[in-house]
Chains A and B, each alone.
Chain A
Amino acid sequence: MSEPLLSIRGLRAKVGGEDGEILRGVDLDLERGEVHALMGPNGSGKSTLAKVIAGHPAYEVTAGEILFEGEDVLELEPDERSRAGIFLAFQYPAEIPGVSIANFLRTAVNARLDEGEEMDVFGFQRTLTEKMEMLKMDPGFAARYVNDGFSGGEKKRNEILQMAVLRPALGVLDETDSGLDIDALKIVARGVNRLSEADEALGVLLITHYKRILNYIEPDTVHVMVAGRIAESGGASLADKLEAEGYDWLQQAAATV
Chain B
Amino acid sequence: MPQNETITGLGLDEYKYGFVTEDKPVFKAVPGLSSDIVRQISRHKEEPEWMLDFRLKALEVYYSKPMPKWGGDLSKLEDTLDEIYFYLKPQDQMERSWDDVPREIKDTFEKLGIPEAERKALAGVGAQYESEMVYHSLKEQWEEQGVIFESIEDGLAKHPQLFRQYFSTVVPTHDNKFAALNSAVWSGGSFVHIPKGVKVEIPLQAYFRVNAERMGQFERTLIICEEGAEAHYIEGCTAPVYSTDSFHSGVIEIVVKKGARFRYTTIQNWSNNMYNLVTQRALVHEEAKMEWLDGNLGSKLTMKYPSCFLVGERAHGEILSIAYAGDGQHQDTGGKVIHAAPNTTSQITSKSISKGLGRSSYRGLCKVYDGAVGAKSNVECDALLLDERSRTDTYPYIEIDENTASIGHEATVSKVGDEQLFYLMSRGLDEAEAMAMIVRGFIEPVAKELPLEYAIELNRLIELEMEGSVG
Interface residues of A (CB under 8 A from B): 51, 54-58, 77-79, 81-83, 87-88, 90, 93-99, 104-105, 107-108, 111-112, 145-146, 162, 166
Contacts and interface: CB of A to CB of B under 8 A. Distances in A.
Given A96-B437, A145-B441, A111 B429 contact: yes
A147 to B, nearest CB: 8
Given A77-B425, A79-B431, A94 B417 contact: yes
A56, A57, A99, A104 interface centre (most CB from chain B within 10 Å): A99
B425 A82 contact: yes
Contact of A112 (B417, B419, B428, B431): B428
Contacts of B431: 77, 79
A72 B218 CA distance: 61
A87 B430 CA distance: 15
A233 to B, nearest CB: 26
A108 B440 contact: no
Contacts of A88: 426
B430 to A, nearest CB: 5
A107 B429 contact: yes
Contact of B441 (A81, A83, A99): A99
Nearest to A94: B423
A78 B433 contact: no
Q: Which 6 pairs from chain A and chain B are nearest by CB?
A: A98-B441, A98-B444, A99-B441, A94-B423, A78-B425, A82-B428
Given A77-B431, A79-B430, A99 B437 contact: yes
Interface string B416-456: 01111011111111110110011011111100000000000
Given A98-B440, A104-B437, A57 B427 contact: no
Given A98-B442, A111-B429, A111-B433, 14 more contacts: A55-B426, A78-B425, A79-B430, A79-B431, A79-B434, A82-B426, A83-B428, A96-B424, A96-B438, A97-B442, A98-B440, A99-B438, A111-B427, A162-B427
Nearest to A162: B427
Interface of B: 417-420, 422-431, 433-434, 437-438, 440-445
15 contacts: A55-B426, A82-B425, A90-B423, A93-B423, A94-B419, A96-B441, A97-B442, A98-B440, A98-B442, A105-B427, A107-B433, A108-B428, A111-B428, A146-B441, A162-B427
A57 B422 contact: yes
Contacts of A112: 428
Contacts of B420: 94-96
A82, A98, A145, A166 interface centre (most CB from chain B within 10 Å): A98
A23 B445 CA distance: 42
A88 B440 CA distance: 24
Contacts of B422: 51, 54, 56-57, 78, 94
A98 B351 CA distance: 13
Contacts of A108: 427-429
Contacts of A78: 422, 425-426
A93 B443 CA distance: 21
A82 B418 contact: no
A80 to B, nearest CB: 8
B81 to A, nearest CB: 40
Nearest to A84: B428
Contacts of B443: 98
Contacts of B430: 77, 79, 111
Contacts of A87: 426
Contact of B445 (A79, A94, A98): A98
Contacts of B429: 79, 107-108, 111
A93 to B, nearest CB: 7
Given A83-B428, A94-B417, A111-B428, A99 B423 contact: no
Contacts of A55: 425-426
Contacts of B425: 55, 77-79, 82
Contacts of B423: 90, 93-94, 96
B427 A166 contact: yes
Nearest to B417: A94
Contacts of B419: 94
A82 B421 CA distance: 13
A118 B433 CA distance: 15
A29 B353 CA distance: 45
A105 B424 CA distance: 10
B422, B437, B438 interface centre (most CB from chain A within 10 Å): B422
Nearest to B445: A98
A108 B441 CA distance: 15
A18 B444 CA distance: 38
Contact of B428 (A57, A145, A166): A166
B383 to A, nearest CB: 14
A54 B426 contact: yes
A97 B437 CA distance: 10
Contacts of A98: 440-445
Nearest to A163: B427
B418 A57 contact: yes
Nearest to B441: A98
A96 B430 CA distance: 16
A88 B426 CA distance: 7
A77 B434 CA distance: 13
Contacts of B427: 79, 82, 104-105, 108, 111, 162, 166
A56 B420 CA distance: 11
Contact of A107 (B426, B437, B444, B445): B437
